[in-house]
Amino acid sequence: MRDETLTVSELLDACCGGTPDGVPYPDEKTVRSDLKYLEEVGVICREPGPRPYRYRIRSELVHELSEEELLDLYDFVDIMANTQVPS
């Protein structure tokens, strides 16, 4: 999402393509819910246009954070990525 806008199905393909065998894949409902939350908090934005909606990361948000805030964010993402199992 950093380099291009993606639809929900493209995100699912990206998630499932790099997932090892035996690991459960995320479902579309979960991905849509996560995208909605990320849009609400301002991390991503939905591009204007017809369906299917395309999403992109608001990279300017990262540039607004201090070095300490970025480290906190990286730590949070690292912890969450290693402790939450996709549904």
Q: pLDDT band for position 49 (50/70/90)?
A: very high
pLDDT in tens, 20-35: 788 788 889 988 988 9
Domain ranges within the chain, ordered by starting residue: 8-83
Per-residue pLDDT for 85 more than 80? no
Q: pLDDT band for position 9 (50/70/90)?
A: very high
0.75 cut: is pTM over it?
A: no
Taking the CA atoms of residue 58, residue 59, residue 60 and residue 66 in that order, the dihedral angle to the nearest 10 degrees is 120
3-class SS letters over 19-77: CCCCCCCCCHHHHHHHHHHHHHCCCEEECCCCCCCCEEECHHHHHHCCHHHHHHHHHHH
